[in-house]
Chains A and B, each alone.
Chain A
Amino acid sequence: MTVDHAAAIPPHISAHLVQDFDLWAELTAQGENAYAWAANLHRSTPPIFWVPRLSFLSGTWVPRRAEDLRRILQDPETFSSVGLTPYAMLLGESWRLAPLEVDPPDHAKYRALLNPLFTPKKVDALEQDIRALATQLIEAVAEQGRCDFNEDFAKAFPTLIFLKLMGWPLEERPLFQHWTQTLIKSVDMQVVTDNARAITGWIRNHIAERRLDPGDDFTSYLLASQIDGRALTDDEMLGINFLIFIGGLDTVTSSIGLFFRHLARHPEQQAQLRANPELIPNAVEELLRSYSIVNMRRTVTRDVQIGEALMKKGDMVLISTELANLDPEVFDNADQVDFLRSSGAAPHMAFSYGVHRCVGSHLARRELRIALELWLKLIPPFRIADGTQPRFSAVGVFGMEDLHLQWDPVVGTASATPAERVSA
């Protein structure tokens, strides 16, 4: 975790594999051109290259081909997830984010606790709640003719669903929204530490309360669960709760922001979905592919050669979902967003591969689909708000730091706007 801008290149790394740029800094600087720039890396870099720094992190391998990333993610023995995040360490504690930071075979024990809660069937049961929450948020801004998309929708929507899913009080929304943003998006370690302390404090209190007074919520479910025939420890409870918190909130916020920036910038594709709402599930897949947001890492546990890259034990490997999803070996015209692209023909890896595949993927897909459906139904054609400039950031989880949308409101009949009433 040390800041080491003048890092020497380790001797086992061939000079021709070194690319002297900071991937996250470049992507951030590219702004609206970030994904086109990333797609071009497939033409300008070796299949696996090495960058000497990554924001506040030191040098790492960057495999860009989907096939190499699949092999890496399907081999957790060689590519370990242990110690991925700094949160416990920053607090001087020793819990871990389970199952994210746990390798097989222990991984499966934690994962087994979460899987039944996030199945496609379980998500089906949430559909009406998700629709109701989205409708409420959209109707609140419909007549204003513009909104701060992050504050008014993209942050609030997944936070409310998360609180509902966890069985935690919905009134805590502002607090959780604040924590999410400051924890994941900040590069100021003091800010991250303070917020990690506040969040763990809230979770620990909640665990203590539920221990005395069990209810129908996620924490109570964990309290009643067992691993290896024993109850979970407080640290295990904390790690799982904390993981669900960081996995489910910021990721959906970030994806929705990028999706809506795209639709605001491409009125013809917005019109295509308004005229053909049956394309929305495919559009969700295509937008997940085109605007992937998660960069994970793995630590090499034994020397391994992949193509030209000799990886030594202890090396870091970046799992860049956006590079895999822009791989021209898998996707024709990968930098083009095409809602008619057959999403089943070549699966994307926005939710990663292997045992750590995003446990909330089915819920995330549902939230994204409903957000698109209801916005296009309840709000007339929208665009980037006059006098504003969308701001993109690519640190850790990529997303929109700022996004304001504008439309010509249909006064009083917002909930019955026919698709044909085009006003822009």
Chain B
Amino acid sequence: MKVRINQQACAGHARCNHVAPGLYSLDDNGYIASTGFSVEAGQQALALRGARACPERIIEVLDEPASASTGAA
């Protein structure tokens, strides 16, 4: 599973980082520090929650296994 981030469109809400600080690192300005990463097994649910928390909807989760889809909570 991979996470792809449209870093240009980050507005600095930092909600991804709030939900999953170990996955979504911020730069010195409080904006997302990367354009994406591979998610290790065991971190997938957390990565998804971080993606869903983005108010700008700029975090995309790829190769999402069907079993990881928990539906809208």
Contacts and interface: CB of A to CB of B under 8 A. Distances in A.
Contacts of B12: 115, 357, 359
A120 B49 contact: no
Given A120-B18, A347-B15, A355-B11, A362 B29 contact: no
Interface string A352-378: 011101010110000000000000000
Interface residues of A, number: 24
Interface in A104-149: 112, 115-116, 118-121
A351 interface: yes
Interface string A324-362: 000000000000000000101111110101110101011
A341 to B, nearest CB: 9
A74 interface: yes
Interface stretch (B34-42, B52-60, B61-69): B52-60
A357 B29 CA distance: 14
A115 B11 CA distance: 10
B13 A119 contact: no
A57 to B, nearest CB: 26
B30 A120 contact: yes
A181 B13 CA distance: 27
Nearest to B28: A116
A406 to B, nearest CB: 35
A16 to B, nearest CB: 30
B27 to A, nearest CB: 9
B5 interface: no
Nearest to B21: A120
A362 B14 contact: yes
A70 interface: yes
Which 6 pairs across A and B sit closest by C-beta, in order of nearness?
A: A119-B30, A357-B11, A115-B29, A347-B55, A344-B53, A345-B73
Interface of A: 70, 74, 112, 115-116, 118-121, 342, 344-349, 351, 353-355, 357, 359, 361-362
Interface of B: 9, 11-15, 17-19, 26, 28-31, 49-50, 52-57, 72-73
15 contacts: A70-B56, A74-B9, A112-B29, A115-B12, A116-B28, A118-B30, A119-B14, A120-B14, A344-B15, A344-B52, A345-B49, A345-B73, A347-B55, A351-B55, A357-B13
